């Protein structure tokens, strides 16, 4: 059987994740992301690839969304409402809760701010969400009779999951984005030894092995602490969800531990709603938060308060988390402009910044910025860079492969050159084949499916009774008839097969003539043969019948004198097909001749 994996979106590219898998006749779409870099049609995957001219609902059996980042779910309302898809969409409970908030935010920015038309509406988001079926971790969901999916914990962001898709005995695991090292609010990704036929894994950090998280955390805390002690203000531009919560927890616990008093603010907006969900989905967080939430939910921040525009001018130290994360617009930029002039203050960039943004400029050491209105802003505040990324690094990816023991690996969501390195490593270490398709490319993987066959109990018992004790590690031969009927396979005994098929049994007999030189009379010859056989075949019942023939079990032996030569006797040996083994043995025995007579 064949399995396809076809990627209209993701492939060797970051952003716009969308993978199509055909497994044993079922078509599943994994993720439905958008590309942040484009503002035209290219931002969404090209769904016309999937069916040239047919309804998507007919073609796709289900859609699975791994987590709520827009590059994994951003195109969903477009796909389901505007292109048209009515089938089930699966995602985890936190993803289902948070996803619409982000989509709505994205819609607002695109439509309200940039003034685009022909974009999905709020109602479409709502309608789309109605099609979503939420799943629990490790819950096996039966999509239809054959297709089943199961979610595993993936770390990365709240509610991120890896999905196992299974049809019959063929299976695919799609990782989405995942993180193998735990952080302050989420645990590490985990798979059992599910041995899928194909593991589709992200490979963002295919060529990176990262340093321990602790050093980075410590540096971060130290820098914040020092600035606050000096009386400076700290600005941390973040995106609303994911890393922001991690940093909040980090600072919150540090404040708690060190008994600090300086205020921490979080710029409001969609974050508050999201934080609410973080409080609810405690089971999806890491060990520490899960264990202590009875005393205090870690997301009930004691030291972190909502930010008000007026606070930025307050004297004294403070820490402010503000959106967006690249300092290109909005509140974070406003605060940055206010604070940039003071060398006591500090800005910490917790992530990567796209070229052209203010964040990128200051990180690359630019000290004089030209703002709109030809103002020149001199940056005196300290600029720090702190990478907190929640993707698995090369080691993490290898570790996950080791855990799952797949037969094939497919790399997506990364850069081609880096993937090449990882591919080579995977093939070398695990001796499994590894693929890295480009956008729109189709990869075919041959699987070796096993076909379950029902065996009738009677037959099984009969067969096991014959041989030695069963040994699960060794294959065994058994006799039976394979019946293929009504799309099912059964192994039954021949009699039953005949009965079921309504066929008559045909007897098949082999007969063979053996010439023996024996001058004696016929009945004497028979007697000699009888004695000889009786001597040799001790375990079988050898009988001399009154009509002058001999039977060994069901094999019949008759002797007649040769018509021409009386000294040659012709022995007629006849046996049925079932006794082939014994029959041929007997003939070969008789062909050797009789022993010298011993009267």
Structure tokens at 194: 């599910």
Site for another protein in 201-260 (CB under 8 A): 207-219, 221-223, 225, 253, 256-259
Active-site annotation holds for 202: yes
Q: Are 276 and 299 in contact (CB under 8 A)?
A: no
Site for another protein in 26-45 (CB under 8 A): none
The distance of closest approach from Cβ of residue 205 to another protein in the complex, given in angstroms and rounded to an integer, is 9
Taking CB under 8 A as the binding criterion, the range among 42-50, 141-149, 466-474, 551-559 that sits at the site for another protein is: 466-474
Specify the residue, 81 or 217, whose C-beta has the smaller distance to another protein.
217
Does 344 contact another protein by CB under 8 A? no
Does 297 contact another protein by CB under 8 A? no
The distance of closest approach from Cβ of residue 401 to another protein in the complex, given in angstroms and rounded to an integer, is 8
Specify the residue, 119 or 385, whose C-beta has the smaller distance to another protein.
385
Does 72 contact another protein by CB under 8 A? no
User: Which residues, at least 6 apart from 267, have a Cβ–Cβ distance to it below 8 Å?
Assistant: 307, 320, 321, 322, 323, 331, 332
Among 363, 390, 392, 419, binds another protein (CB under 8 A): 363
Among 367, 380, 402, 521, binds another protein (CB under 8 A): 402
Among 54, 115, 315, 365, binds another protein (CB under 8 A): 365
Taking CB under 8 A as the binding criterion, the range among 230-238, 369-377, 396-404, 561-569 that sits at the site for another protein is: 396-404
Beta strands in 314-456 (DSSP E): 318-322, 346-349, 368-370, 376-378, 382-385, 408-412, 433-435, 442-446, 454-455
Which of 363, 325, 310 lies closest to 243 in space, CA to CA?
325
Specify the residue, 190 or 540, whose C-beta has the smaller distance to another protein.
190
The distance of closest approach from Cβ of residue 396 to another protein in the complex, given in angstroms and rounded to an integer, is 10
Q: Give dist(CA 299, CA 302) in Å, integer.
A: 9
Q: Starting from the edge strand earliest in sequence, which strands make up the sheet with 454-455, in order?
A: 454-455, 488-492, 481-485
Does 187 contact another protein by CB under 8 A? yes
Does 122 contact another protein by CB under 8 A? no
Q: Give dist(CA 271, CA 282) in Å, integer.
A: 17
Specify the residue, 139 or 364, whose C-beta has the smaller distance to another protein.
364
Cβ count within 10 A of residue 456: 17
Q: What number of residues does the chain have?
A: 599
Specify the residue, 63 or 162, whose C-beta has the smaller distance to another protein.
162
Q: Give dist(CA 217, CA 215) in Å, integer.
A: 5
DSSP category for residue 393: B
Specify the residue, 61 or 217, whose C-beta has the smaller distance to another protein.
217
Specify the residue, 215 or 484, whose C-beta has the smaller distance to another protein.
215
Does 192 contact another protein by CB under 8 A? yes
User: Which residues, at least 6 apart from 555, have a Cβ–Cβ distance to it below 8 Å?
Assistant: 573, 574, 575, 579, 582, 583, 586
Does 399 contact another protein by CB under 8 A? yes
The distance of closest approach from Cβ of residue 420 to another protein in the complex, given in angstroms and rounded to an integer, is 9
The CA radius of gyration of the chain, in Å to the nearest whole number, is 38
Specify the residue, 210 or 515, whose C-beta has the smaller distance to another protein.
210
The distance of closest approach from Cβ of residue 428 to another protein in the complex, given in angstroms and rounded to an integer, is 9
Among 465, 472, 477, 504, binds another protein (CB under 8 A): 472
Q: Tell me, letter by letter, the H, E, C secondary structure of 79-146.
A: HHHHHHCCCCEEEEHHHHHHHHHHHHHHHHHHHHHCCCCCCCCHHHHHHHHHCEEEECECCEEECCCC
Taking CB under 8 A as the binding criterion, the range among 37-45, 120-128, 332-340, 420-428 that sits at the site for another protein is: 420-428
Site for another protein in 145-184 (CB under 8 A): 181-182, 184
Q: Are 390 and 183 in contact (CB under 8 A)?
A: yes
The distance of closest approach from Cβ of residue 190 to another protein in the complex, given in angstroms and rounded to an integer, is 7
SS3 (DSSP) at 421:
helix
Judging by DSSP bridges, how do beta strands 509-517 and 481-485 pair with one another? unpaired
Among 48, 424, 442, 554, binds another protein (CB under 8 A): 424
Specify the residue, 58 or 429, whose C-beta has the smaller distance to another protein.
429
- Output the CA–CA distances (angstroms, integers) from residue 57 to 54, 73, 126, 279, 356, in the order listed: 9, 18, 19, 36, 41
Number of residues engaging another protein in binding (CB under 8 A): 56
The distance of closest approach from Cβ of residue 99 to another protein in the complex, given in angstroms and rounded to an integer, is 26
Q: Are 7 and 412 in contact (CB under 8 A)?
A: yes
Site for another protein in 492-531 (CB under 8 A): none
Residue 145 backbone dihedrals phi, psi, to 5 degrees: -60, -30
Specify the residue, 270 or 416, whose C-beta has the smaller distance to another protein.
416
Q: Give dist(CA 67, CA 32) in Å, integer.
A: 10
Catalytic pick from 81, 104, 116, 202? 202
Structure tokens at 109: 């920015």
Does 403 contact another protein by CB under 8 A? yes
**H or E segment at 292?**
helix 287-292
- Output the CA–CA distances (angstroms, integers) from residue 590 to 65, 146, 571, 576, in the order listed: 75, 58, 9, 18
Which of 47, 52, 55, 50 lies closest to 27 in space, CA to CA?
50
What would the x/- binding string for another protein be over residues 434 to 463, using CB under 8 A?
------------------------------
Does 394 contact another protein by CB under 8 A? yes
State the residues that interact with another protein by CB under 8 A: 181-182, 184, 187-188, 190-193, 207-219, 221-223, 225, 253, 256-259, 286-288, 363-365, 382-385, 394-395, 398-399, 402-403, 418, 421, 424-425, 429-430, 469, 472-473
Residues labelled as active-site residues: 202
């Amino acid at each position: 059987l064949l399995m396809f994996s076809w990627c209209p979106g993701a492939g060797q590219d970051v952003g716009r994740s969308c993978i199509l898998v055909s497994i044993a006749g079922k078509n599943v779409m994994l993720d439905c992301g958008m590309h942040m870099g484009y503002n035209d049609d290219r931002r969404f995957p090209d769904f016309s690839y999937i069916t040239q001219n047919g309804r998507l609902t007919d073609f796709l059996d289900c859609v699975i969304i791994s987590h709520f980042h827009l590059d994994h779910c951003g195109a969903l309302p477009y796909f389901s409402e505007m292109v048209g898809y009515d089938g089930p969409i699966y995602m985890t409970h936190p993803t289902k809760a948070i996803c619409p908030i982000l989509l709505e935010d994205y819609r607002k920015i695109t439509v309200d701010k940039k003034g685009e038309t022909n974009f999905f509406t709020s109602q479409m988001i709502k309608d789309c969400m109605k099609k979503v079926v939420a799943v629990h971790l490790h819950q096996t969901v039966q999509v239809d009779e054959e297709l089943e999916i199961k979610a595993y914990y993936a770390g990365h962001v709240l509610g991120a999951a890896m999905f196992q898709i299974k049809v019959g005995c063929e299976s695919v695991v799609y990782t989405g984005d995942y993180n193998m090292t735990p952080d302050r609010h989420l645990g590490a990704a985990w798979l059992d030894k599910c041995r899928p036929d194909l593991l589709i894994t992200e490979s963002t950090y295919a060529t990176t092995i990262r340093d321990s998280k602790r050093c980075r955390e410590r540096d971060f805390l130290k820098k914040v602490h020092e600035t606050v002690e000096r009386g400076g203000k700290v600005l941390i531009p973040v995106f609303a969800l994911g890393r922001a919560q991690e940093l909040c927890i980090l600072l919150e616990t540090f404040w708690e531990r060190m008994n600090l008093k300086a205020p921490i603010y979080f710029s409001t907006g969609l974050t508050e709603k999201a934080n609410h969900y973080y409080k609810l989905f405690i089971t999806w967080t890491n060990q520490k938060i899960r264990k202590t939430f009875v005393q205090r939910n870690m997301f009930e921040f004691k030291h972190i308060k909502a930010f008000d525009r007026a606070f930025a001018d307050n004297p004294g130290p403070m820490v402010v988390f503000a959106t967006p994360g690249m300092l290109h617009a909005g509140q974070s930029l406003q605060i940055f402009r206010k604070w940039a002039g003071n060398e006591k203050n500090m800005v910490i960039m917790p992530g990567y910044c796209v070229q052209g943004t203010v964040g990128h400029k200051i990180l690359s050491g630019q000290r004089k910025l030209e703002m709109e209105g030809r103002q020149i802003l001199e940056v005196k505040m300290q600029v720090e860079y702190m990478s907190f990324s929640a993707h698995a690094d090369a080691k993490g990816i290898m570790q996950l492969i080791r855990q799952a023991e797949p037969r094939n690996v497919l790399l997506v969501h990364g850069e081609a050159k880096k993937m090449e390195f990882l591919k080579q490593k995977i093939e070398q270490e695990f001796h499994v084949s590894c693929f890295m398709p480009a956008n729109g490319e189709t990869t075919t993987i041959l699987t070796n499916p096993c076909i379950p066959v029902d065996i009738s109990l009677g037959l099984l018992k009969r067969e096991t009774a014959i041989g030695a004790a069963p040994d699960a590690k060794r294959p065994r031969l058994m006799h039976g008839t394979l019946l293929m009927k009504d799309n099912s396979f059964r192994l039954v005994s021949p009699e039953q097969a005949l009965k079921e098929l309504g066929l008559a049994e045909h007897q098949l007999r082999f007969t063979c003539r053996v010439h023996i030189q024996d001058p004696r009379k016929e009945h004497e010859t028979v007697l000699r043969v009888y004695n000889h056989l009786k001597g040799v075949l001790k375990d079988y019942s050898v009988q001399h019948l009154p009509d002058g023939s001999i039977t060994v079990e069901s094999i019949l032996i008759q002797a007649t004198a040769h018509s021409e030569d009386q000294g040659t006797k012709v022995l007629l040996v006849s046996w049925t097909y079932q006794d082939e083994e014994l029959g041929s043995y007997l003939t070969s025995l008789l062909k050797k001749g009789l022993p010298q007579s011993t009267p």
